[in-house]
Amino acid sequence: MSPLQCPTKRWLIHSKGTMNVLKACSATKVHKLIVVSSIATSCFNPDWPRDKIKDETCWSDKEFCRQTENWYSLAKTEAEEMALEYGEKNGLHVVTFCPGLVFGPLLQHVAVNTSSKVLVYMIKGGPDTMNNKFFPIVDVRDIADALLLLYNKAGSSERYICSLDQMDLKDLLAIMKNIYPSYTYVGKMVDVDFNVGVTSEKLKNLGWKPRMLEETLADSIESYEKAGLLGVSDDEPCRLPFIYRMPPIQE
In a domain, 80, yes or no: yes
In a domain, 150, yes or no: yes
CATH number of the domain that 222 lies in?
3.40.50.720
| Mean pLDDT for the chain overall | 86
In a domain, 11, yes or no: yes
Q: What is the mean pLDDT of residues 29-34?
A: 96
In a domain, 1, yes or no: no
- The residue among 6 and 57 whose pLDDT is bigger is 57
pLDDT tens-place string over residues 163-177: 986 778 888 889 999
Q: What is the pLDDT of residue 249?
A: 35
In a domain, 251, yes or no: no
In a domain, 2, yes or no: no
Q: What is the pLDDT of residue 243?
A: 63
- Structural domain count, the chain: 1
- The residue among 46 and 248 whose pLDDT is bigger is 46
pLDDT tens-place string over residues 119-159: 998 888 877 777 777 788 999 999 999 999 999 999 989 99
Q: What is the mean pLDDT of residues 195-216?
A: 92
- The residue among 194 and 247 whose pLDDT is bigger is 194
In a domain, 105, yes or no: yes
In a domain, 17, yes or no: yes
Domain containing 207 equals 7-246
* SS3 assignment for the chain: CCCCCCHHHHHHHHHHHHHHHHHHHHHCCCCEEEEECCCHHHHCCCCCCCCCCECCCCCCCHHHHHHCCCHHHHHHHHHHHHHHHHHHHHCCEEEEEEECEEECCCCCCCCCCHHHHHHHHHHHCCCCEEEECEEEEEEHHHHHHHHHHHHHHCCCCEEEEECCEEEEHHHHHHHHHHHCCCCCCCCCEEECCCCCCECCHHHHCCCCCCCCHHHHHHHHHHHHHHCCCCCCCCCCCCCCCHHHEECCCCC
